[in-house]
Structure 1
Amino acid sequence: MVMNTEVEMTKEFQTFDTTADTGLEIYGASLEEVFRNALRGLFDLITDLDKIEAQEEVTVEAQGEDWVDLLVSWLNELVFLQDARDWLFKECVIEKLEPHYIKAHCSGERFKKGKHPIKTLVKAATLHQARIEKSPQGYKARVVLDV
């Protein structure tokens, strides 16, 4: 399926509804941009992205079988860091991105009650309906999140 408008490429991400879950549609001119925007979309779904300050940096790595599996693994690693260690990330700089591996330096801060309203509790990213598509305008990825 080819993206049908250039308007999509001006967005970083948007959500879509699925039965009992939430979907994240991510856009980027490159795969690197898709992975960066996936981080931003995830944390914007969890809290108000504008309230996250890039105070500290954490190195995050993930592995996958292919690009789609890697994107889901990347999101699940970020969900783990948020759930188990209270990290909220605003942005990242990708050091290495290959079809089976990502290493990035993610900037953000730990969750602070009163500062960071919780909008959605994300349990996991799933492979259900997950895909990455390329078109002349760039890339579009879709991931369903278990909430």
Structure 2
Amino acid sequence: MFGYMTEIDKVDILMTKDIEAESEDMLGLLYVFLDEFLFVFSAEPFFIARKVKILSFDKENFKIKARGYGEIFDIGKHPQGTEVKAITYSNMQVYDNEGQHELFVIIDI
């Protein structure tokens, strides 16, 4: 998602931002997780993550805590990419197979 917003290799790791998300099911959890990171980018101080680390993940209760590593978005440093307006449920898919985990998400730009 952040790769659509700017050239991610131009984002330095200068600070962190923690998020928490929970929902009633796995698709809802993925939606809320991405929406939380979209919110921290869209609200001051406009944090953009280069890397995200999962701190805890409760698959049975659909809760996740994560830490984004990045910096404040600066139009003078970070080339402006495509604005991500929203995360959508449209065709969202989660495949949790032994040894391979895949997510498919469409974002509204």
Q: Which runs of at least 4 in structure 1 moved beyond 4 Å after TM superposition?
A: none
Question: Which of the numbers 80, 103, 107 marks the counterpart of 1:141?
Answer: 103
CA shift for structure 1 position 92: 2.1
Match of 1:19 in 2: none
Identity %: 30
Match of 1:106 in 2: 68
Match of 2:57 in 1: 97
What amino acid maps onto 1:69 in structure 2?
Answer: G
Where do 5+ consecutive residues of structure 2 fail to align? none
Higher share of residues assigned helix: 1
Return the TM-score normalized by structure 1.
0.67
Match of 1:69 in 2: 28
CA shift for structure 1 position 137: 4.8
What amino acid maps onto 2:54 in structure 1?
Answer: I
Q: Give runs of aligned pairs for residues 1-147 of structure 1, distance below 5 A.
A: 42-85=1-44, 86-99=46-59, 100-147=62-109
Alignment RMSD: 1.3
Q: Identify the range of structure 1 (71-80 vs 128-137) with the bigger mean alpha-carbon deviation.
A: 128-137
Q: How many residues align?
A: 106
Return the TM-score normalized by structure 2.
0.89
